Amino acid sequence: MLGSTNPFDMSDTDRFHEECGVFGVFGSDEASILTALGLHALQHRGQEAAGIVTYDGSAFHAHRALGHVGENFGADSDQMRQLRGHVAIGHNRYSTSGNVNPYMEIQPFSSELAFGGFALAHNGNLTNATRLRASLIETGSLFQSSSDTEVIVHLVARSHQENVTDRLIDALKQIEGAYSLVCVANDMLIGVRDPYGVRPLILGQRDDTWLLASESCALDIVGATPVR
């Protein structure tokens, strides 16, 4: 609470700064629009920046920007017209201090890996991220952000498993903490929760379209029904 003298008061703004919002869509030609709407409903989970990555069957398209969703992802904007594809993931980022270049911290992160394109948005904290980052740097990995999310991307890239699903599972076996993930790879939308289910991730459906969201309010705004 702003102005509170209680050092243990975790209400209002402070509570929201412990979270961020993730959203994913599979099977809709309006994937980017649905994702923008979902992120708008999740705006309370992160107000510093937002990003969307889409996949059209052959290439990734991305737009990331500081500010609110409505400021950067208007339905008739050039940015939205460029976000083509039937698969999309999005992320709202809460504000943190100490970042030299906050733009480099905006998710989803995407990269071209040995098996093709891979995009990832993450909510949560990895308790062993510092150790994993140090190990990856020691063996040649180059980091562009301070985010735990980039650690996961590098673990997937460095895995010796044959396909992206097994590479992701291999990476998940190495991380510790509370998290939820939405990923796009090889024309798939993948959702992940930590083994204890601490961070929320809800599966929803709208006709033949499947969706993933941090909260059910993001499904409500696009007319989707929660499945689990």
Q: List, by residue number, the catalytic residues.
A: 20
Q: In b/e form, how buried is each residue of 133-167, taking b as 16+ CB within 10 angstroms?
A: bebbeeeebeeebbbbbbbbbbbbbbbeeeebeeb
Token pair for 109: 């992160």
Q: How many CB atoms lie within 10 A of CB 172?
A: 16
Q: Would you say how long the chain is, in residues?
A: 228
What is the rounded distance in angstroms from the CA atom of residue 38 to the CA atom of residue 73?
Answer: 11
How many Cα neighbours within 13 Å face the side chain of 112? 4
Angle at 35 between CA 55 and CA 51, to 5 degrees: 75
Helix (H, G, I), strand (E, B) or coil at 204: strand
Q: How many CB atoms lie within 10 A of CB 225?
A: 12
Helix (H, G, I), strand (E, B) or coil at 69: helix
